[in-house]
Amino acid sequence: MARARLNSGDCSQDDFPKAKINKKSIKNIGKLLTYLRPYRLKFFFGFLFLVLSSLSLLALPALMGSMVDAAQGEQTLAVIPSDMKTIGVVTFCILAFQSFISFFRIRLFVEVAERTLADIRKDTYFNLITLPMDFFANRRVGELNSRLSSDLSQIQDTMTTTFAEMIRQGILLIGGICFLFIVSIKLTMLNLAILPVVVVVAAFFGRFIRNLSRKAQDKLAESNTIVQETLQGISNVKAFVNEAYEAKRYANSLQSVVNLALKGASYRGLFASFILFCIFGAVVAVIWYGASLIATGELTVGSLTTYIISSLFVAGSMGSFPELYATVQKTVGATERVVEILEEKREDVSIVAEDNQVKEHIAGQLRFEHVGFSYPSRKEVPVLQDISFDLDAGEKVAIVGPSGTGKSTLASLILRFYDPTAGQIYFDERPALSFKLTDIRNQVAIVPQDVLLFGGSIKENIAYGKLGASDEEIIEAASKANAHHFIEAFPEGYDTMVGERGVKLSGGQRQRIAIARALLKDPAILILDEATSSLDSESERLVQQALESLMKGRTSIIIAHRLSTIREADKIIVIDAGRVVECGTHNELLLNENGLYRYLCGLQQEQKVV
């Protein structure tokens, strides 16, 4: 069912999980409410206007009733004259006052909520992008995006509307009940006798109907999934002549939707009939009993009018609370997920760009000393074991081995996406942990196999390696990366939009953009992680030329499957099952008849012959 709903794109309010309101949830809400502090004065005035607006609204039933009595020559309000004109003028003055302060109430509450939510969004986003890689390894992007969009929107709706509405309805409910008791205790007791029955039946029916509606939505989502799957696999449908089967499957699914909808309609009809009977029955009972009280002189016509209008206020307030409470429950659930991000321990990165500038330069010397590593989510599975090797500044080193042996994990450790679980990594003979995290990442660049480009222009993607770079620097980097020629061939040149994840460019073009980005960064240490493995021969040649330019004068670590690309490396490190099993130059390793490197070279030679 969940998959069907996701496929259909349906995102109703029912999709927001509800949470219990307890001490922990109140504590979480309290943490978000601290963001109100800079705007507490505006919030106070908004709250004051809200109270005044609600209280002024409560005066209307009494004025309406006194106007009816004034028409009959009776005095029911001692605070103002009893003539109809005066009461009418006072009523319109109160309405004008109520409208005036309602404008400021809404304006202030929305401003406070929007500014507060903007602050929460900024902190949540910043905390999110500065969390360690392990956090993202265990969560889906869609889930995290939901926290920034749906969850915060739910909180926003509560702060701008629900919170104020709960206070307003609470004042109207309490004030209205007080008016009812003041006007007539007997009529109020009559209403209270009917109320419990209505509430219990309404709660039972309401829940039952909501469940039916949810099932109908799920069934409809399933039918939409059938359409989606059929259209995606239309070639298979036609090849197997299964049009009749798919049509029948879709018709059966729609019939289930219709059956559930009709069942829901029957129960909704019963529920609506019951509620209408209760509401109008209560009104008839109040007027009937009120008329008898008027006949005996215990009540005036104006007082009965006041009572009926106040009853409508009370009924409206009571009817709104279940929905408001459900909204608050959803907000509590959203708050828990947002607070979870805000409380996660983030990396040592500042939100101020100047604080992230290089403080200590790295020459490029790198050493692994008995390094072991296991991913935090799989601590019992060692990925690297007792890895030791060293690289001199400016040296070109290749790391090879079968798939799944931990080669790319080495790159993650150098960038300090993760820290070793055993041993130490040294930069320029200093422990990696003694450097500021941003100093290491500012001076290490990686060109991966699967290049991710942002959805902006080519110019923006290259400039990501050095924010604020001049056009001349960008063009120079692109020229060295063998990218300038194909960029200039586009009608819009460097302003060409690359599309989501760079889909408008070929694999070789994306690689050369990534190389240009790395050139602009001018790193001390360069990591090439399978940078040419997925390219055709011509693209590989152009990218390899660009890589030669990129590797000049800097420590280069080449992670590769294609051994032909690493023959000229100063040193080749062979890893198997998370351990270093061989180390030497290409020619030295080929001399070892039982060596893994020689075996891998032999396999690739056989594949070329085939």
More confident of the two residues 77 and 466: 466
Give the C-alpha distances (Å, rounded to integers) separating 562 from 403, 454, 555, 604, 605. Answer: 12, 28, 20, 8, 11
pLDDT surpasses 50 at 65: yes
pLDDT, tens digit (0-9, with 9 covering 90-100), for 433-443: 888 888 888 88
The reported pLDDT for the residue numbered 561 is 67
pTM: 0.67
Three-class SS of 37-51 = HHHHHHHHHHHHHHH
Strand, helix or coil at 371? strand
Q: Where are the alpha helices (DSSP H) in 296-431?
A: 301-343, 407-414
pLDDT, tens digit (0-9, with 9 covering 90-100), for 219-278: 777 788 888 888 878 888 888 888 888 888 888 888 888 888 888 788 777 777 777 777
List the beta strands (DSSP E) in 296-403: 366-373, 384-391, 396-400
The reported pLDDT for the residue numbered 6 is 37
- β-pairing, 396-400 vs 571-576, is parallel
Q: CB of 477 within 8 A of CB of 549?
A: no
Handedness of CA 139, 141, 147, 150 (dihedral sign): negative
Q: CB of 415 within 8 A of CB of 446?
A: yes
Residue of 401, 340, 249, 300 whose CA lies nearest to 25? 340
Cα 610 to Cα 608: distance, rounded to the nearest angstrom:
5
444 phi and psi angles, rounded to 5 deg: -125, 130
Q: What is the mean pLDDT of residues 85-97?
A: 81
The reported pLDDT for the residue numbered 89 is 82
User: Phi-psi bin for 457: left (phi > 0), alpha (psi -120 to 50), beta?
Assistant: beta
Cα 536 to Cα 565: distance, rounded to the nearest angstrom:
14
pLDDT, tens digit (0-9, with 9 covering 90-100), for 458-496: 888 888 888 888 888 888 888 888 888 888 888 888 888
Cα 418 to Cα 384: distance, rounded to the nearest angstrom:
12
Superfamily of domain 447-522: P-loop containing nucleotide triphosphate hydrolases (3.40.50.300)
Handedness of CA 290, 296, 301, 302 (dihedral sign): negative
Q: CB of 162 within 8 A of CB of 332?
A: no
The reported pLDDT for the residue numbered 351 is 75
The reported pLDDT for the residue numbered 538 is 63
Strand, helix or coil at 579? strand
The reported pLDDT for the residue numbered 12 is 42
- Give the domain ranges of the chain: 16-183+323-347, 185-298, 447-522
Q: CB of 28 within 8 A of CB of 336?
A: yes
pLDDT, tens digit (0-9, with 9 covering 90-100), for 26-36: 777 777 878 88
Task: Classify residue 340 by burial, with Cβ atoms within 10 Å: 0-12, 13-18, 19+.
Answer: exposed
Highest-confidence segment of 309-318, 344-353, 414-423, 496-505: 414-423
Q: What is the distance in angstroms between the CA of the first residue and the CA of the last residue of the chain?
A: 48
What percentage of the chain exceeds 90 in pLDDT? 3
Handedness of CA 94, 96, 100, 105 (dihedral sign): positive
How far, in whole angstroms, is CA 430 from its chain's centroid? 39
**93 HSE (CA, 13 A, CB side):** 7
pLDDT surpasses 60 at 117: yes
**How wide is the angle at C-alpha 11 spanned by C-alphas 9 and 15, nearest 5°?**
130
Confidence of residue 354 (pLDDT cuts 50, 70, 90): confident
Q: CB of 366 within 8 A of CB of 525?
A: yes
pLDDT, tens digit (0-9, with 9 covering 90-100), for 145-189: 766 777 777 787 777 777 778 888 888 888 888 877 887 787 878
pLDDT, tens digit (0-9, with 9 covering 90-100), for 13-26: 444 555 556 677 77
Confidence of residue 424 (pLDDT cuts 50, 70, 90): very high
Confidence of residue 426 (pLDDT cuts 50, 70, 90): very high
Cα 128 to Cα 256: distance, rounded to the nearest angstrom:
43
More confident of the two residues 500 and 223: 223
The DSSP-derived string for 441-461 is: HHTEEEE-SS----SSBHHHH
pLDDT, tens digit (0-9, with 9 covering 90-100), for 124-149: 888 888 888 877 777 777 677 766 77
Cα 217 to Cα 226: distance, rounded to the nearest angstrom:
14
CATH architecture of the region 16-183+323-347? Up-down Bundle (1.20)
Q: CB of 29 within 8 A of CB of 335?
A: yes
Q: CB of 499 within 8 A of CB of 458?
A: no
What percentage of the chain exceeds 70 in pLDDT? 87
Tokens for 75?
Answer: 């005095």
pLDDT, tens digit (0-9, with 9 covering 90-100), for 99-110: 888 888 888 888
Q: CB of 539 within 8 A of CB of 500?
A: no
Confidence of residue 2 (pLDDT cuts 50, 70, 90): very low
Q: CB of 405 within 8 A of CB of 385?
A: no
Q: How many CB atoms lie within 10 A of CB 579?
A: 17
Cα 374 to Cα 332: distance, rounded to the nearest angstrom:
36
The reported pLDDT for the residue numbered 610 is 43
Confidence of residue 340 (pLDDT cuts 50, 70, 90): confident
Give the C-alpha distances (Å, rounded to integers) separating 86 from 63, 90, 208, 250, 309. Answer: 10, 6, 51, 68, 20
Cα 225 to Cα 551: distance, rounded to the nearest angstrom:
50
Confidence of residue 81 (pLDDT cuts 50, 70, 90): low
Highest-confidence segment of 286-290, 348-352, 451-455, 516-520: 516-520
